[in-house]
């Protein structure tokens, strides 16, 4: 299959053999694709190497041969967001999460659009925690793992005053007591879930609970091997923030 003038975002690239690279992209029409970019080393290939950096938006031509496609040409369509510190790690998280959960060669236009929006928000310096929660929600929805965010698993409307955990198979599950569920105060607030459902900025106090609730769902689908970006963000928070502030981290 020949892929012509296909738009995509670069998720990951690594050297392969002496002069080539293996590149993972999220494409507009075909979903996640693996590309073999041959001969990308050398001074005359600098523009191509720059186009194949993570977070870069590109247009490419390739020929699909089995699981991987052979890249013929690629050009950058814009300037990738220039991120630093926690924003850079958040961009790494965006790519790693997408790479781990999006299946290859499975068209997902909603995910492509959600990624583009999250990337733009990172580049614009919007609040990291809220940007990532919105992308996690949209990724789950696009891959068919999402919930009716306005109701719990029994169809009961979310109560703003209640606390919930997100059961991957059931949906929002109300936490009635600490017994069997750990610390109830660590669960997501109903108010926070409804803010996520309505795409309205939640109260700052609701963001840590949303992070923990979404982490439970994502861990279920990721399996026993977590994300390197989680470890890196946790370490960054540990060394740069006092303990009382760490719950608001943007991971």
Nearest by Cα to 16 from 68, 51, 65, 94 = 68
Per-residue confidence of the chain (251 residues) as pLDDT tens digits?
Answer: 899 999 999 999 998 888 889 999 999 999 999 999 988 877 667 788 889 999 999 999 999 988 899 999 999 999 999 999 899 999 999 999 999 999 999 999 999 999 999 999 999 999 999 999 999 999 999 999 999 999 999 999 999 999 999 999 999 999 987 555 456 778 999 999 999 999 999 999 999 999 999 999 999 999 988 899 988 877 777 776 655 444 334 56
Q: Quote helix, strand, coil % in the chain, to nearest 5.
A: 40, 25, 35
> What number does CATH give the domain 2-76?
2.40.50.140
Q: Which fold has domain 85-248?
A: de novo design (two linked rop proteins) (1.20.1440)
Say if CB 168 and CB 220 are below 8 A apart.
yes
Domain limits, the chain: 2-76, 85-248
**DSSP code, position 194:** H
Overall pTM > 0.75: yes
Q: Which residues contact 144 (CB under 8 A, 6 or more apart)?
A: none
């Amino acid at each position: 299959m020949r892929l012509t003038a296909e738009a995509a975002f670069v998720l990951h690239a690594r050297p392969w053999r002496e002069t080539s690279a293996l590149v993972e992209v999220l494409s507009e029409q075909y979903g996640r694709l693996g590309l073999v970019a041959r001969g990308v080393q050398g001074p005359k290939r600098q523009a191509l190497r720059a186009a194949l950096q993570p977070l870069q938006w590109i247009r490419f031509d390739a020929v699909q041969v089995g699981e991987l496609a052979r890249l013929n040409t690629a050009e950058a369509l814009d300037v990738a967001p220039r991120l630093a510190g926690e924003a850079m790690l958040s961009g790494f998280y965006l790519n790693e999460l997408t790479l781990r959960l999006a299946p290859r060669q499975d068209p997902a236009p909603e995910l492509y659009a959600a990624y583009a929006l999250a990337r733009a928000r990172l580049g614009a310096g919007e609040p990291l925690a809220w940007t990532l929660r919105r992308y996690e929600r949209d990724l789950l929805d696009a891959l068919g793992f999402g919930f009716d965010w306005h109701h719990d698993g029994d169809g009961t409307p979310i109560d703003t005053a209640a606390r919930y955990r997100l059961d991957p198979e059931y949906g929002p599950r109300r936490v009635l007591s600490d017994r069997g569920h750990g610390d109830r105060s660590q669960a997501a607030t109903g108010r926070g879930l409804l803010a996520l459902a309505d795409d309205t900025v939640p109260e700052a106090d609701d963001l840590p609970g949303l992070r923990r609730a979404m982490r439970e769902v994502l861990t279920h689908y990721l399996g026993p091997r977590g994300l390197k970006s989680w470890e890196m963000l946790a370490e960054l928070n540990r060394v740069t923030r006092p303990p009382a502030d760490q719950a608001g981290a943007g991971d």
